[in-house]
Amino acid sequence: MEGDIVIAAKMVGAGLATIGALGAGIGIGIVVNGAVQAMGRNPDASGLITTNMFLGIAFSESIGIFCLVIAFLLLFVV
């Protein structure tokens, strides 16, 4: 299945798949916004807030990574 247009379609598909990183970026921004505001109100709870912030960042980032996995799947496997 290796015509020129198939390779071009693969490249375009991989490029379009990374639009999902937009959601990941916005999500991480919202999580860190909430964490920084909470740390400003209550500096004593810094450790707890930081732990939960990293948890939230990992969740949000994994959705962006799913999109990247699809892009790499299109480029290298199909």
Residues in contact with other proteins, shown as a per-residue x/- string from 13 to 52 under the rule CB under 8 A: ----------------------------------------
Choice between 21 and 39, CB closer to other proteins: 21
State the burial class of residue 24 (Cβ atoms within 10 Å of its Cβ: 0-12, 13-18, 19+). buried
CB 52 within 8 Å of CB 34: no
Q: Does 5 bind other proteins (CB under 8 A)?
A: no
Cβ atoms within 10 A of the Cβ of 78, count?
11
Q: Which stretch binds other proteins (CB under 8 A): 5-13, 26-34, 37-45, 57-65?
A: 57-65
Helix 46-76 with 21-41: angle, nearest 10 deg: 170
Shortest CB 19 distance to other proteins, Å? 16
* Interface residue with other proteins, options 39, 55, 60, 74 (CB under 8 A): 55
